[in-house]
Structure 1
Amino acid sequence: MYNNTQHTFISHDGTALFYQHWENAEPKRNRKKKAVILFHRGHEHSGRMAHLVEELGLNEFDFFAWDARGHGQSPGERGDAPSFSACVHDIQYFVQHLHAEYNIQPENIAIVAQSVGAVLAATWVHDYAPKIRALCLASPAFDIKLYVPFAKPGLNLLSKVRGNFFINSYVKAKMLTHDQERAKSYDTDPQIARAISVRMLLGLYAASERIVQDAQHIFVPTQILCSGSDFVVQQKPQREFYAKLPHPLKEFHVLDGFYHDTLGEKQRQIATDKIRRFILQCFAQNYAAPNVLNADKIGSSCAVAETLSSTLPKNSLKHAFWNLTKQNLKIGSMFSSGLKIGEDTGYDSGSTLDFVYRNRTESSNPIGKLIDRQYLNAIGWRGIRVRKQNIEAMLKKYANQIIQNQQAVRIMDIAAGHGRYILDAVQQLPQQPDSILLRDYSNLNVEAGQKMIEQRGLTDLAQFVQADAFDTASLASVEPKPTLAVVSGLYELFSDNDLLRKSLTGLSQAIESQGYLIYTGQIWHPQQEFIARALTSHREGDAWVMRLRSQAEMDALVEQAGFKKIDQVIDEFGIFTVSVAQKI
């Protein structure tokens, strides 16, 4: 019934990853292709999932399964990868490859993933917001039972001292399944990677904690199969994850007596029957995109921002704590250049961002230098610098695409701050763009940016003007029309989606047909309350209260304005996304 072939695809860093394709041999009768993608457990490979192709009984579907990097026939040191987020990014490129190579639309894809593969898949769905039809997670490894007291903090400490190193899995085959033949095959399979790198293990823990905490931003029908006698992973976070899922089509099943290898258990037909029914029912109705365009007015992100905007009771411990924190920042600003810029201009201002981009301790005294370094090493600012790198990479990639299409490269940034990241990116292009238009609402930023243009000898090429990024008419009237527009770090500062619609409508009218829009998002932040309670905004010293938009919400707003998302990247912390959409 199926023809099995083996292939590779090129991922985000040029690595060729192995995958298998089981093509449905039945005539297609002009129907759209449907596919199930299988993601294997940690230590394993695609061959360990091959039995599911027949056992799931989804005869109208093609099947695909990869070997994650560092596993099976994919390259890389066994059990290792550059980071956990790199493997999540691999999934994005895998799905893009399936679309390009086999014309399979994301909305005709279902995911079946197990253990570590389930966490990779859940993280991908959260961070990249793909429009897939169904997500089936078997024993997701949100929390591995290490059995050693203080194992996680110990590994964290050792990794700081020793760097990356490997630990061997304690898991024996008899702890995975009651199926003796499958257990024996696990013990004798030469492609099983027994060790896992500490950076992958710690990355798995960090991603799991974030995804369980923020599962309310996963808008895909989801089924969870929880093994009732699992010696490897904890059941509690699986339940917490499920409880937060917002989609009405969701299921949680406890499979009594099952060990960790849920889909390789002796009685696995119980599991495969549930998966088959769930997928078929999800495909029995047309795909419906999540309704998130009004998330600024109702829903979890709106409620959190509203709570953080509220005044704390004056006699409460929290009020005293955050008052003390703000006072400490003011005292610190007497010594630290970085804190002084934040206190004077706002911690979300262009001046603050330029200090973060420079990433230097600029205070004149030892205490200030120490504070500067600690400040610059905050996870949010580290993510901001990665975002800058990702913007530069995307700008270079799509400027090259425009050049290959023999079109003029006309760049516009609608809220450029000091313009550093755009001007840095331009220097990396194979040829100078035809024009650069930088815009910003702040006179201070415009003046600083103009000086930077002059210092770099770009006055004949670039101009910096004061303008409102939310003025639809002003954006729409830009001449010549840009072929590549950038909006970075702006929309994250404003909760109101109506403001974004004005801006995106203007951009849609400004950008040439088939031109590109690079836009950023902030989908999660571990210091959201600290920022809201302690830091001031550039807007007249108001509190800097962020409403975190899910990637699905940000993409929906961009799509509503007449663009189609074609690319995305995210930092390894899971905070800042950089996406590319094309005007259609």
Structure 2
Amino acid sequence: MSRPAQSHAFVAHDGQRIAYRHWPATGDVPKGAVLLFHRGHEHGGRMAHLVEELDLPDLAFFAWDARGHGLSDGERGDAPDFATYARDVQSLVEHIEDQHGTSVADLLVVAQSVGAVVATCWLHDYAPPVRGAILAAPAFRVKLYVPLALPALRLATRFRDRVFVKSYVRSSLLTHDLDRRRGYDSDPLISRQISARILIGLRDTSDRLVADAATIDTPIQLLLSGRDVVVERKVQQRFFARLPHPDKECHRLEGFFHDTLGERDRHLALAPMQRFIRRQFSRPSQALSRLDADLGGNGCAEAEALARPLPKSGIKQRYWQLLRKALQQGARLSNSLKVGVDHGFDSGSMLDQVYRNRPDSPSRLGRLIDRVYLNAIGWRGIRQRRVHLEALIEQAVRELRHNGQQVHLVDIAAGHGRYILSALAALANASEAPDSVLLRDYSATNVAAGQALIKEMIPSQPLAQRVRFEAGDAFDRASLASLTPAPTLAVVSGLYELYPDNARVRASLSGLAEAMAPGALLVVTNQPWHPQLSFIARALSSHREGEPWVMRCRSQVEMRQLLAACGFAIVTQRIDPWGIFSVILARRISP
């Protein structure tokens, strides 16, 4: 090859070493870089031929070995969960920006099969402002020819953590290229095993991505193989139909097997790929504005539909009435359900109950109801959100201390404040402890509970004296702008998710921005997706009396744009394995 590969590695968030190859640009004026993501079982070296064949000298190329593949750490074909791959992509991109000087805004993705699903998950959950993405034969729905294979694997993983299966895919099903077949069969870095949890995670993540494809605001070129017996084409087409960006194109390559980019006649795929890549780098990125997504679009229409009452005589209305009555009856036995019925399922009191996560009802049946209820996927996401919140708060405090700044922390809608006090307790005996902490909430009940919780969770007098809890409106721009002392770290958790209108969110963020100096940090949560929106709207009551609990999910793109419009730039983020709640660390930038 005219461009030999350089071998590198970075360390992922959990200490795993992830290998990657780098081909620097050879043109006079480098324009950016292409990220290559290999298909399942393989490694980045299997995509190295594209560097030469695409013939793009003004672009660098990077190709990783996903964890558990190739030269990277990890058990072959395994990871903690499928979402870990997307987080690894984010870590890779941050590493490339830091070590190679290429901004995420100057990256374009080329991904194949399982790698295409990983890349799509990253595009959806992290909303990077990349130039575009080329997805070849994305494995949104792998054909499992064994009847009931997926339910059987789900059952098996309930009893054993380590369950592996061997891929049925032979090299003769991948490509007509005999050299590629021989290479696949003889490559010692290829492992055909895959863990059941990754196979299950691939399916669940793919279902979510296809259903929510309308929020992926990225120019995308889709390459489909005409004789692909590994993945289902109808799901790929459904995904493409829902993509919102006007710069999208789909190519069906007749006669191609699953290894689209390694087929014998791959020049038929390379030509449109070259054209697409050159077009994306020849002009400024065309970002779609989502600042008014609350006034139109799929998410707005869905929220309005959930807010409308159902016909009184309809079957659906009767079903939800029965379910609401069942919850009210269950509240007589279950303390957890009683908190939701009495205070609202979106209240600070309910949130504190979810954080404590203790079945504490008097009877065995009540405790069983507690356990089932508290283990609902939304509440599991809430608890994982807390883990991410505490981690990013600690990271922000340490960064401010490292930069020689005082730490004046404010949480503008703290609820009972358990998560923030937990993070403070971890810093209580360290030099990073904040200089002042102001917790605010609109509810007098929450303020009183929070003041009691301070005494319980912060016994250290020096730190306890720096913490105060008072009433305050998180959407009052003037009130936030006049916060004293001026916050160097602001936290907004679980608030904006409850309010669909962006005007209120912008007023809140703008008030904080006016109070915060450039360089100050913000930790804010978002909800880009939720699997139980209908159940929540139809069955669960809100803390706002008489109003249903109707949520409108905000895509990560929308949240990124709201932050940017108010003077904040995202530093990093975390998201749970189900893609429900993200936690963002952002920095106040100069006006």
2:286 matched residue in structure 1 = 288
1:414-425 correspondence runs (5 A): 414-425=412-423
2:23 matched residue in structure 1 = 22
1:546 matched residue in structure 2 = 551
2:346 matched residue in structure 1 = 348
Kindly state the Cα deviation for residue 102 of structure 1 after the two structures are TM-superposed. Answer: 1.8
Are 2:26 and 2:57, in contact at CA under 8 Å, matched by a contact in 1? no
1:422-571 correspondence runs (5 A): 422-429=420-427, 430-431=430-431, 432-455=433-456, 456-457=458-459, 458-571=463-576
Are 2:117 and 2:140, in contact at CA under 8 Å, matched by a contact in 1? yes
Q: Given the alignment of the two structures, is residue 242 of structure 1 paired with residue 243 of structure 2, yes or no?
A: no
Structure 1: distance between partners of 2:440 and 2:276: 50
Residue 531 of structure 2 aligns to which amino acid in structure 1? P
2:389 matched residue in structure 1 = 391
Q: Deviation above 6 Å: which 4+ runs of structure 1?
A: none
Structure 2: distance between partners of 1:164 and 1:376: 26
Structure 1: distance between partners of 2:312 and 2:156: 43
Kindly state the Cα deviation for residue 231 of structure 1 after the two structures are TM-superposed. Answer: 1.4
2:583 matched residue in structure 1 = 578
1:233 matched residue in structure 2 = 231
Range 117-126 or range 104-113, more displaced: 104-113
Kindly state the Cα deviation for residue 543 of structure 1 after the two structures are TM-superposed. Answer: 0.5
2:174 corresponds to which of 173, 176, 188:
176
2:114 corresponds to which of 113, 116, 119:
116
1:403 matched residue in structure 2 = 401
Structure 2: distance between partners of 1:203 and 1:236: 20
1:341-380 correspondence runs (5 A): 341-380=339-378
Are 1:346 and 1:541, in contact at CA under 8 Å, matched by a contact in 2? no
1:244-259 correspondence runs (5 A): 244-259=242-257
In structure 2, stretches of 5+ residues that fail to align are none
Residue 162 of structure 1 aligns to which amino acid in structure 2? R
Kindly state the Cα deviation for residue 14 of structure 1 after the two structures are TM-superposed. Answer: 2.7
Kindly state the Cα deviation for residue 65 of structure 1 after the two structures are TM-superposed. Answer: 0.4
Are 1:137 and 1:222, in contact at CA under 8 Å, matched by a contact in 2? yes
Structure 2: distance between partners of 1:163 and 1:228: 37
Structure 1: distance between partners of 2:176 and 2:329: 63
Structure 1: distance between partners of 2:208 and 2:439: 35
**Which SS does the other structure have where 1:321 is aligned?**
helix
Residue 174 of structure 1 aligns to which amino acid in structure 2? S
- Deviation per CA, 1:207-230, whole angstroms, max 9, x where unpaired? 100000100000000011111101
- Deviation per CA, 1:158-187, whole angstroms, max 9, x where unpaired? 111222211111111001000011101100
1:73 corresponds to which of 71, 78, 86:
71
Kindly state the Cα deviation for residue 285 of structure 1 after the two structures are TM-superposed. Answer: 2.0
Q: How many residues align?
A: 581
CA RMSD of aligned residues (A): 1.0
Structure 1: distance between partners of 2:73 and 2:546: 52
Structure 2: distance between partners of 1:583 and 1:288: 24
Structure 1: distance between partners of 2:453 and 2:517: 28
Range 119-128 or range 92-101, more displaced: 92-101
Structure 2: distance between partners of 1:15 and 1:512: 36
Kindly state the Cα deviation for residue 370 of structure 1 after the two structures are TM-superposed. Answer: 0.9
Are 2:26 and 2:58, in contact at CA under 8 Å, matched by a contact in 1? no
Kindly state the Cα deviation for residue 16 of structure 1 after the two structures are TM-superposed. Answer: 2.1
Identity %: 52
1:141 matched residue in structure 2 = 139
TM-score under structure 2 length normalisation: 0.97
Structure 2: distance between partners of 1:519 and 1:15: 28
Kindly state the Cα deviation for residue 500 of structure 1 after the two structures are TM-superposed. Answer: 0.5
- Deviation per CA, 1:499-536, whole angstroms, max 9, x where unpaired? 00110001101223201100101011110100001111
Kindly state the Cα deviation for residue 13 of structure 1 after the two structures are TM-superposed. Answer: 2.0
2:89 matched residue in structure 1 = 91
Are 1:3 and 1:24, in contact at CA under 8 Å, matched by a contact in 2? no
1:191 matched residue in structure 2 = 189
- Deviation per CA, 1:471-492, whole angstroms, max 9, x where unpaired? 0111111111111110000000
**Which SS does the other structure have where 1:574 is aligned?**
coil
**Which SS does the other structure have where 2:497 is aligned?**
helix
Structure 1: distance between partners of 2:550 and 2:162: 37
Structure 2: distance between partners of 1:422 and 1:143: 41
Structure 1: distance between partners of 2:215 and 2:6: 36
Kindly state the Cα deviation for residue 10 of structure 1 after the two structures are TM-superposed. Answer: 2.1
Kindly state the Cα deviation for residue 383 of structure 1 after the two structures are TM-superposed. Answer: 0.4
Residue 576 of structure 2 aligns to which amino acid in structure 1? D
Structure 2: distance between partners of 1:246 and 1:334: 47
Structure 2: distance between partners of 1:84 and 1:163: 15
Residue 347 of structure 1 aligns to which amino acid in structure 2? F
Residue 428 of structure 1 aligns to which amino acid in structure 2? A
Structure 2: distance between partners of 1:559 and 1:171: 45
TM-score under structure 1 length normalisation: 0.98
| Residues 181 and 3 of structure 1, relative CA distance in 2, 3 Å threshold | closer
Kindly state the Cα deviation for residue 3 of structure 1 after the two structures are TM-superposed. Answer: 4.3
Structure 2: distance between partners of 1:71 and 1:400: 34
2:333 matched residue in structure 1 = 335
Kindly state the Cα deviation for residue 365 of structure 1 after the two structures are TM-superposed. Answer: 1.2
Are 2:156 and 2:163, in contact at CA under 8 Å, matched by a contact in 1? no
Structure 2: distance between partners of 1:558 and 1:26: 36
2:7 matched residue in structure 1 = 6
**Which SS does the other structure have where 2:285 is aligned?**
coil
Structure 2: distance between partners of 1:53 and 1:314: 62
**Which SS does the other structure have where 2:475 is aligned?**
coil
Structure 1: distance between partners of 2:25 and 2:364: 68
1:58 corresponds to which of 34, 56, 59:
56
- Deviation per CA, 1:256-285, whole angstroms, max 9, x where unpaired? 110000000000111111111111122222
Structure 1: distance between partners of 2:227 and 2:80: 33
Kindly state the Cα deviation for residue 204 of structure 1 after the two structures are TM-superposed. Answer: 0.7
